[in-house]
Amino acid sequence: MTIAEAAAFFRDGDRFCIVTHRSPDGDTTGCASALCRGLRALGKIAAVLENPQTTPRYAPWLEGLTVPREGAGDTVVTVDVAAETLLPENAEHLTVALAIDHHGSNTGFAQQTLLDPGKAACGEIVFALLQELGAPLDPVSAGALYVAVSTDTGCFQYSNTTANTLRVAAALRDAGVAAAAINRALFGVKSLRRLRLEARLTESTVFWAGGRVAVCVLPLSWREELALTEDDLDALASFPRAIEGVEAGVLLKEKPDGVVKLSLRTGPSINASAVCAHLGGGGHPAAAGASFKAVLGEALELVRAAFAGEGVEV
């Protein structure tokens, strides 16, 4: 489906129910917010289906827009959802009329799909769609789309960022986004707890293979000692790989009940998914994981063996 065809779909229809994905992030939430507000501004009836997993970080963008399942409109539209299995529990068995998405892996689960895998964020597609529809872009809608494009690109830092991403962000700033406050809240700030955790990880990082592999270990006891929240552990798996010269970053988190969770981030020379497969896990070539029963000392040796199994002597 093209942007023009999708615009016709929205012009011809009414009573839209917009659905976000499980573990909703900035992209799916921002898209839902902006699309819903844009459709309402055009005189359509529209709402966003409540997502029980929406966190306080992104919930404000959906204020006044959400409805429970029984209040949802007839025409279901998903944003940033790649597969039916990623629909939240309360959206299972809904017939999806249109999926707006940027994942190349989209399964085609919807009746129609507006898909552009060349876009870093689904927000770029929703922006183009709202422009095509002639929907007014107020500062709140622009802010929601700014959250969408900035979170999916690590504030325009990740390799998926394109010139289009930056142009959309510029247009959103022209529309009055309070970008400085959003950037600071989402990207610019760390809690002192998190900084203390990073300090401990720095002091205790172990290097294998002459520095090619960095191993960080997070014992269960640190959570209490440093009063860590779940937010403090956000994206911690990328910490060891971000050390200069490191091609494979290993994070071992001790969990309750004798379980260790391995997170592995790698550059192009090492297949993270293959290494994790030796420990019953999997994932992508550059980002994979596994969970297994072990004490931390054993876990280190198991990870060492998994690397060796892929020809990386550590």
Least separation in angstroms between CB 149 and a second copy: 11
For residues 13-50, one letter each, b for 16 or more C-beta atoms within 10 angstroms of the residue's C-beta and e for the rest, the string is beebbbbbbeebbbbbbbbbbbbbbbbbbeebebbbbb
- 164 touches a second copy (CB under 8 A): yes
- 3-state DSSP assignment of residue 122: helix
How far lies 214's CA from each of 34, 204, 226, 277, in Å?
41, 10, 22, 19
Binding of residue 227 to a second copy (CB under 8 A): no
DSSP 3-state of 293:
strand
Which of 1, 140, 155, 287 forms a contact with a second copy (CB under 8 A)? 155
State yes or no: residue 302 binds a second copy (CB under 8 A).
no
Closer to a second copy by CB, 90 or 183: give it.
183
| Rounded least distance, CB 192 to a second copy, Å | 6
Interface pick for a second copy out of 4, 59, 180, 308 (rule CB under 8 A): 180
Contacting range for a second copy; rule: CB under 8 A; set: 19-27, 69-77, 241-249, 274-282: 241-249
Tell me the closest approach of the beta carbon of residue 73 to a second copy, in angstroms: 35
Is the CB of residue 15 less than 8 Å from the CB of residue 74? yes
Q: Does 55 participate in binding a second copy (rule CB under 8 A)?
A: no
Helix (H/G/I), strand (E/B), else coil: 16:
strand
- Rounded CA-CA distance 211/214 in Å is 7
- Answer for the pair 228, 234: CB distance below 8 angstroms, yes or no: no
- Indicate whether 109 belongs to the interface with a second copy (CB under 8 A): no
Structure tokens at 133: 């529809």
Interaction between residue 192 and a second copy (CB under 8 A): yes
Q: Smallest distance from the beta carbon of 234 to a second copy, in angstroms?
A: 12
Q: Would you tell me which residues interact with a second copy (CB under 8 A)? A: 154-159, 161-164, 166-167, 169-171, 173-174, 179-180, 183-184, 187-192, 195-196, 198-200, 202-203, 205, 242-244, 267
